[in-house]
Structure 1
Amino acid sequence: MMVLNWIDNAPRRILGLISLACVGMLAFGMYLQHVVGLEPCPMCIVQRYALIGVAIFTGLAAARDSRGWWMSLAGVAVLIAGFGAFVAARQSWLQWYPPEIATCGRDFYGMIENYPISRAIPMIFRGSGDCTAIDWTFLGGSIANWSFLCFVGFGLVMLVLLARHLKGGRRGGAGYSMA
């Protein structure tokens, strides 16, 4: 009950925390790439873009006072989180059941530069030898597994927030605060 009360009383703070968590995850990804030396695969790059999208839209939603604005921006963030969860789930599937022929295909930017977008996007989701590799784990889960859990968690929290505010309207009457 305490968490639901917090969701009711401080939706913009929750959106701000989600935005900060996304920025933290992006910073950790940069650490793994530049300090540890892990190279991101095409699907990892797409997940980074999804994190950037969630961070931007939840950050904008947290900054807006108008109920309609923050709910609309949070709705877009839910869709982006769902897309990120889909990409992470696909990568996890490829890691658990790698294709019989795993080749190290082109990198993300090479695909976008050399192929039309209609061909590059299916190539990204097909994965490559890089996408099936598990270079780092934490508590038995790969980066893709943890990314999936974070996207699903962010999406669920935002869905609960939106559902409670759509269903209940303005709770608390005139003294209702969006802080």
Structure 2
Amino acid sequence: MLSLLNHYSNGRAAWFLLFLSTFIFELTALFFQHGLGLAPCTLCIYQRCAIFGIMIASIIGLIKPNNYIFRLGGILVWLFSAYKGFTLATFHAHLQFEPNFSDTCAINVQFPSWLPLNQWLPSMFNAYGSCADKIWTFLTIEMSQWMIIIFACYLFVGLTILISQFFPAKKI
């Protein structure tokens, strides 16, 4: 099975599916923000950036998937972004379900001066909601909990793909 996953990671179809999934999540986030009027908080914006990181990883993999360096680079960016997103989502859920006065989230997003996304695209990267608010539930699961599930899935699949790189690709 790992040889088969290695084979699939050498093609563009798998990387395109990764890109498509992140693109759909970004569109969903924008629909929640602009269509439903749900105010994103700082952690929501940072999680959105983590999804963008996975999207960038998929583009790296799409450029030249049969090249080991591009593929490994894409996988590493994918894993780093998924891990960061998972930790952000976990902290977000912690703020919502186990409130503690010592744990807070910033009111404004803070991007590096060389990448001020909130100034370049304020409609996409400006936070004006509270991290502690529970504003959306689906199947009795809050949005922060859904994001934990989503990032955990990205992390699990990314780790599996990384491990599969050590097994020779199957010829189909």
TM-score by length of 2: 0.78
Counterparts of 1:24 and 1:76, CA distance in 2: 19
1:69 aligns with 2:67: no
Instruction: Tell me the SS of whatever aligns to 2:165.
Output: helix
Counterparts of 1:33 and 1:6, CA distance in 2: 39
Instruction: Tell me the SS of whatever aligns to 1:30.
Output: helix
What's the CA shift for 1:160? 0.5
8 Å contact kept, 2:61–2:71: yes
Instruction: Tell me the SS of whatever aligns to 1:21.
Output: helix
Which of 4, 7, 10 is equivalent to 2:5?
Answer: 7
Counterparts of 1:104 and 1:46, CA distance in 2: 11
Counterparts of 2:60 and 2:78, CA distance in 1: 10
Counterparts of 1:163 and 1:105, CA distance in 2: 37
Q: In structure 1, what is the equivalent of residue 100 of structure 2?
A: 99
Tell me which protein shows more helix as a share of its residues. Answer: 1
Q: In structure 2, what is the equivalent of residue 55 of structure 1?
A: 55
State the identity %.
24
The AA in structure 2 aligned to 1:133 is: D
Counterparts of 1:104 and 1:87, CA distance in 2: 11
What's the CA shift for 1:98? 1.8
Counterparts of 1:96 and 1:102, CA distance in 2: 12
Q: 1:103 to 1:82 in 2, by over 3 A?
A: closer
Structure 1 residue runs of 4 or more that deviate by more than 4 Å after TM superposition: 100-105
What's the CA shift for 1:25? 0.6
Structure 2 unpaired stretches of 5+: 113-127
Q: In structure 2, what is the equivalent of residue 79 of structure 1?
A: 80
Instruction: Tell me the SS of whatever aligns to 2:107.
Output: coil
Instruction: Tell me the SS of whatever aligns to 2:159.
Output: helix
Larger-Rg structure? 1
8 Å contact kept, 2:92–2:131: yes
Instruction: Tell me the SS of whatever aligns to 1:131.
Output: coil
What's the CA shift for 1:99? 2.9
Counterparts of 1:8 and 1:103, CA distance in 2: 42
8 Å contact kept, 1:8–1:161: yes
Q: Deviations over 1:57-90 (max 9, x none)?
A: 1222133131221122211210111001000000
Q: 1:150 to 1:105 in 2, by over 3 A?
A: closer
Q: In structure 2, what is the equivalent of residue 151 of structure 1?
A: 151
